[in-house]
Amino acid sequence: MKPQDIVAGKSSLWIFGYGSLVWKPDFKYRRSKVGYIQGYKRRFWHGDNFHRGNDELPGRVVTLIEDDDASTWGVAFEVTGPQVEESLKYLNVRETVCGGYVTKMVDFYAEGESQPPVQALLYIATTDNPLYLGPASAEMIGCQIAMSRGKTGHNLEYLLRLAEFMRRSCPHVDDNHLFSIEAAALTVVSLLLAAQ
């Protein structure tokens, strides 16, 4: 289903970010809240040959994998009025440029609020995406991230900013997948620097 179909006739929309959107939304929004969604786990299983890598050495960015027992922390952004159409237009280019993405509406639970969840739009790269790389060890993913760079910047920046967000905004959440890849990537970087 296209995002425009999901939000037809709505004057406001929440958009959930779990990757680079947590620190770089690049669209106007009314407000944002840290919180989580249930039923998904964040994984560095999606390749990126534009923003954080290239055709020869694709970077790795996060996508979500369905898991009934998991939750994923991130940021939800509320867009209102003309921001709804503007943000969707922007995100459709940013998130779906290569195809193989789906959009879903999910329940978003804001941290520290006793309010019921709100519905939020979510972009997920699927296994149908030609750049879907799938699982690998933390060491393999960390090495790939440490060596990749794209038009938006170094893949390591993406990883470190996401880890920084989790430590700063969600210090009570242990994201072992994220932090083990961060440790592996930093080990590769330190070895490369020592070899110079």
Which residues are designated catalytic?
95
- 97's tokens: 């440029």
User: How far is Cα 187 from Cα 88, in angstroms, rounded to an integer?
Assistant: 38
DSSP string, 32-62: EEEEEEEEEEEEEEEEESSSS--SSS-EEEE
Residue type at 188?
V
Cα distances (angstroms) measured from residue 107 to each of 68, 70, 110: 13, 14, 10
Residue type at 168?
R
- 143's tokens: 């090495």
* 129: CB partners within 8 A, 6+ apart: 46, 98, 99, 100, 101
User: How far is Cα 151 from Cα 147, in angstroms, rounded to an integer?
Assistant: 14
Residues in the chain: 196
List 16's β-bridge partners, or say none. 76
Burial bucket for residue 1 (CB in 10 Å: 0-12, 13-18, 19+): exposed
